[in-house]
Amino acid sequence: MNPSFQDSEPKRSLTSRRWLRRLGIGTGSFLALLLVLSCLGAIYQRLASARDKRLNPPPGLLIDVGGYRMHLHCTGQGSPTVILDSGLSDSSLSWYKVQPEIAQFTRVCAYDRAGLGWSDPSPRLRESKVFAEELHTLLQNAGVAPPFILVGHSMGGFDVRIYASQYRAQVAGLLLVDSPHPDLADRLPELRTSLAAWSRQFERQRYLMPLGIPRILGWCGNGPPEMQSKLRRTECNLHRIQETLAECQSMWGASASEARAAANLGNIPLVVLSEDPDKNVKAFLPEFERGQQELMHLSSNSSRMIALGSGHQIQRERPDAVVSATRAVMRMAAQPQLR
């Protein structure tokens, strides 16, 4: 046997052990660093959340609705009272440009669905029929008396039309702000795909939020400088993510089905406010337009307005259009012959 071959075996074995030792030390160091960074991130998230809560108390009242509290912020004076219902995942802050303007001519209340904004999470199913029932309990327990003009943006439009169907005597009028037709995702399956992709982003954030990563990377709390502190308070937390995921799961399922069942609102004054067609995705436009026209058939007393220059977020991009449409609903509600 070649002596040099015999000598090379122990050398190779020794080299392998050294590399394994170095690999083990490197892996251990990496895991230790990861653990330290995770602990630091968790501490940062906790301290930043506590700071946000201290600096941004709820602007309205926290009302018990059956073992959990919901946030209701009312301003202005007059009747009927305008109720603002936000779109999927949004808090009452989405109306920050609209509410002060409406408060100049009547009472207006923005609220947070359970799990969003300043509201506690709810143990109930997260679908539009439940949202309407929770809103009814909230207004009742807060002593906010009808008649109401209900304003619903996007998925919030499902909620308010269900509310109008279940509690018709309380509703003076309805404004749908770029609210989709319940059949739109059946006609455009791409909407389900895009919602599922958006939902997956929140699935990742569910695991990263306790470590402060979405806050550090700016995945939450974005907006105008004067709103960022409030937005971090309402968005950079785990219960907002959990509520968003639940709403995503129900939007084109249970929520759309429940809204579809609320198909006849009699002669309740209704305005359908739609985004500018030039801002819409051209491939979606024919079905979107068809749906918006069909929404007018919910009531025999309806009209449609277009928010020129605005995309889907009309309350942010064209708040004046929402205010004008609200005034239009109030004028329609004031005509006894149409009620």
Q: What is the CATH number of the domain that holds 290?
A: 3.40.50.1820
List alpha helices for 103-237, DSSP H: 128-142, 156-166, 184-187, 190-208, 213-217, 228-235
Q: Is 130 inside any structural domain?
A: yes
How large is the average pLDDT for residues 248-266? 94
Q: Is residue 152 part of a domain?
A: yes
User: Is residue 56 included in any domain, yes or no?
Assistant: no
110 lies in a domain?
A: yes
Q: What is the pTM of this model?
A: 0.88
Assigned domain for 39 exists: no
**Count of domains for the chain:** 1
In tens, the pLDDT along 68-83 reads 999 999 999 999 999 9
pLDDT above 50 (res 338) = no
Q: Is residue 55 part of a domain?
A: no
Q: Is position 147 within any domain?
A: yes
Give the residue-averaged pLDDT of 248-262: 95
How many whole angstroms separate alpha carbon 196 and alpha carbon 47? Answer: 32
Could you read off the pLDDT of 35-51 as tens digits, one per residue?
665 677 677 778 878 88
Q: Summarize pLDDT for 268-320 with one digit per residue, the tens.
A: 999 999 999 888 777 788 899 999 999 999 999 999 999 999 999 999 999 99
Query: 228 or 62, which is more confident?
Result: 62
DSSP state of 181: P
Domain span at residue 88 reads 61-338
Mean pLDDT on 173-189: 95
Please indicate, yes or no, if residue 28 is contained in any of the structural domains.
Answer: no
Residue 31 to residues 24, 35, 36, 115, 171, Cα–Cα distance (Å): 10, 6, 9, 34, 59
